[in-house]
Chains A and B, each alone.
Chain A
Amino acid sequence: MYPVDWGLLVVFYLFLAGAGAAAYYTGVLAETLNPEKFRHFGRYGSYIALPFLGLGVILLTLDLGRPYLFFRLLLHFRPYSTMSIGAWLLLFFGIVMTYYTLMQMARDERLCSRWPWLKAFRGSEGWLKAVGLVGVPLALLVAAYTGVLLANATTGLWSTTPFLGALFVMSATSTGIACLVLVVDWRGEGRQGMKELARSEVLVLIFEAITLGIFLVGLGYTAPDVLKSLLTGPYSAAFWLGVVGCGLVLPLTIELRHSAAVAAGKVSRAPALAAVLTLIGGFLLRYVILFAGQSV
């Protein structure tokens, strides 16, 4: 009957920021560690991160009661305000990531002929790599802060255990890899790297399931009634079917059942299907946590 104070705009923001940041650090790290096999992964990651973060920040600004005052976030630094930390992280990551993305775009002849100003961002291989790596810890912190932001509140579901940040990092990573899987499936040259992406997705989904388990067990100890309302209350259907079923069980089952085909280098759409399900599950995780948290 009363609207929640952090609603769908924030759900979209948390999802976009997590997936975008994770696509960036996964892509950049993959290309850095194995440039031959994962050529262009840094580009894919940054091409995902730029629109995701850009849209996310716009949504976040629109969610403010007075959006035109958003700049005040950057007039203060308050180390015990996770939102202040987040605003500064978004600024620094945004600058590095945008610069890296422009450098990647400048390496694309087609884009350069359309927008000649891109040539100003041309740089050496080493410089590109260095800029990309500077963004990695910032991207990891952006993914982490979205969960810590909620954990540093007094809502029972978010704050009675310290594990929400960890859960959001895992979920961000699984959705970020899912975005990369979709890009590789759509555009990838010879679906290069798909096998490894699919395998790392399996591993991260297992991590995510374990983290979710720890989070729920922790809740059972510190706030059993909150746990009960999450598992059986108004958001239980979205939790079980969406977060657990669609976001963890189905993608894991699909990936594992088709891992042999993928490993053999066969063209399989299974990772892409698993990726779409992972993205839906990741979105619903933010939705359930945000709304169920505020309903109690």
Chain B
Amino acid sequence: MAGEKRYGLFIDTTRCTGCRACQVACKQWNQLPGRETRFEGSYENPPRLLGESWTRVQFVENKEGDKVRFLFRKIQCMHCTEASCMAVCPVGAIERKNGAVVNNRDKCIGCKYCVMACPFKAMQFNEEWGTSAKCIMCMNRVEEGLTPACAKACPPGAVNFGEREEMLALARTRQKERQEKGLPAYLYGEKELGGLGAIYLLDARPEVYGLPVDPRPANANFFAKWAAAAAAAGLVAVAPLYLFFRRREEGIKQEHREVDHHVSG
């Protein structure tokens, strides 16, 4: 391959019809098994990303005045520039490839720290494999000149794939078009966490979709967190021990020495 590219996804939620073709295409290409789920009060299925479901369409029933609007959003790994999973992985099993955050299953030991660290709950644990698992932007397709399975399958063109700069430009154009018509249009992913590899055009404010307004990487305040713990460690090492243990009671020293001698002998 000639040089690293910086690819990205552009997901235009205003075009999404909630057909879930992306979910099926993802399962097929990645050979992921189905999983039985239960109805949980919403038509969305599965209700969250799983170790064997790397993408899903979120269904939001948003009350606006006395109207209810059905909003759809395809969810998958955001391919953050400041990727928390990559930072916390103790064995370096997560790498960046052509802009995508790719977890290497062969290197993964299954500690699940990345699952805890992901700000978008995109990284999930796959029980069958014993490793964490998520969308890898179909890098195994992209490297062969194909587009990711979800983008290929999407009938209304809500999922777009290309170089990130182009995707961002496309997102801005679409946003402008909608704004000119007086329709809601919010961009998400341009700046968040150093710029997400998945850029969204949203049909409502990010909060409505449950997206964090100001997502933080897992290692935010890394040194402050260590400093607080170290201060506590210093305190417990010094204060009680110094206060209580240092005090010598000379008068009974001899007596104890005898007791000790007797017992240990």
Q: By the criterion CB–CB under 8 Å, are B116 and A204 in contact?
A: no
Inter-chain CA distance A44–B185, complex, in Å, is: 66
| Known pairs A65-B108, A211-B232; A189 contacts B222 (CB<8 A) | no
User: Is A153 an interface position by the 8 A CB rule?
Assistant: yes
Q: By the criterion CB–CB under 8 Å, are B116 and A66 in contact?
A: no
Number of A-B contacts (CB under 8 A): 198
CB distance from B16 to the nearest CB of A (A): 25
Chain A, range 189-242, C-beta contacts under 8 Å to B: 189-190, 192, 196, 199-200, 203-204, 207, 211
| Known pairs A1-B38, A136-B237, A152-B218; A76 contacts B91 (CB<8 A) | yes
Chain A, range 72-124, C-beta contacts under 8 Å to B: 72-73, 75-76, 78, 80-84, 87, 108
CB distance from A116 to the nearest CB of B (A): 19
Which B residue sits closest to A22, measured CB to CB?
B236
A34 partner residues in chain B, CB cutoff 8 A = 245-248
Q: By the criterion CB–CB under 8 Å, are A5 and B109 in contact?
A: no
B2 partner residues in chain A, CB cutoff 8 A = none
Q: By the criterion CB–CB under 8 Å, are B130 and A66 in contact?
A: yes
Inter-chain CA distance A106–B219, complex, in Å, is: 44
Which B residue sits closest to A87, measured CB to CB?
B90
Stretch at the interface among B81-89, B134-142, B153-161: B81-89
User: Is B229 an interface position by the 8 A CB rule?
Assistant: yes
User: Is A130 an interface position by the 8 A CB rule?
Assistant: no
What is the number of residues of chain B that contact chain A, defined by CB distance less than 8 Å?
A: 69
Stretch at the interface among A48-56, A141-149, A247-255, A274-282: A141-149
Stretch at the interface among B18-26, B166-174, B194-202, B253-261: B253-261
Q: By the criterion CB–CB under 8 Å, are A165 and B228 in contact?
A: yes
| Known pairs A1-B38, A80-B222; A6 contacts B116 (CB<8 A) | yes
User: Is B220 an interface position by the 8 A CB rule?
Assistant: yes
Across the interface, B109 reaches (CB within 8 A) one of A40, A73, A159, A173, namely: A73
Which B residue sits closest to A29, measured CB to CB?
B241
Q: By the criterion CB–CB under 8 Å, are A207 and B236 in contact?
A: yes
Q: How large is the interface on A (under 10, 10 to 19, 20 to 34, 35 or more residues)?
A: 35 or more
Q: By the criterion CB–CB under 8 Å, are A33 and B241 in contact?
A: yes
Across the interface, A66 reaches (CB within 8 A) one of B109, B229, B260, namely: B109
Which B residue sits closest to A166, measured CB to CB?
B232
Chain B, range 199-248, C-beta contacts under 8 Å to A: 215-222, 224-237, 239-248
User: Is A129 an interface position by the 8 A CB rule?
Assistant: no
Chain B, range 41-98, C-beta contacts under 8 Å to A: 48, 84, 87-92
Inter-chain CA distance A165–B92, complex, in Å, is: 24
Inter-chain CA distance A28–B235, complex, in Å, is: 16
Chain A, range 58-80, C-beta contacts under 8 Å to B: 63-66, 69-70, 72-73, 75-76, 78, 80
Chain A, range 17-40, C-beta contacts under 8 Å to B: 22, 25-26, 29-30, 33-34, 36-40
Inter-chain CA distance A121–B264, complex, in Å, is: 18
CB distance from B256 to the nearest CB of A (A): 6
Q: Classify the secondary structure of A's interface with B.
A: helix
A143 partner residues in chain B, CB cutoff 8 A = 233
B218 partner residues in chain A, CB cutoff 8 A = 152-154, 159
Q: By the criterion CB–CB under 8 Å, are A166 and B88 in contact?
A: no
Q: By the criterion CB–CB under 8 Å, are B259 and A192 in contact?
A: yes
Q: By the criterion CB–CB under 8 Å, are A73 and B90 in contact?
A: yes
User: Is B117 an interface position by the 8 A CB rule?
Assistant: yes
Inter-chain CA distance A72–B245, complex, in Å, is: 41
Inter-chain CA distance A149–B86, complex, in Å, is: 15
Q: By the criterion CB–CB under 8 Å, are B107 and A81 in contact?
A: no
User: Is A163 an interface position by the 8 A CB rule?
Assistant: yes
Across the interface, B246 reaches (CB within 8 A) one of A33, A39, A167, A173, namely: A33
Which A residue sits closest to B253, measured CB to CB?
A36
17 A-B pairs besides A148-B229, A203-B239 with CB distance below 8 A are A5-B115, A29-B241, A36-B253, A64-B109, A65-B108, A66-B108, A69-B109, A76-B92, A78-B92, A80-B222, A140-B236, A152-B225, A154-B119, A159-B218, A162-B221, A204-B240, A207-B236
Q: Which 6 A-B pairs have the closest CB atoms?
A: A65-B110, A165-B229, A65-B130, A166-B232, A200-B240, A144-B229
Binding site for B on A (CB under 8 A): 1-2, 5-6, 22, 25-26, 29-30, 33-34, 36-40, 63-66, 69-70, 72-73, 75-76, 78, 80-84, 87, 108, 136, 140-141, 143-145, 147-155, 159, 162-170, 173, 189-190, 192, 196, 199-200, 203-204, 207, 211, 294
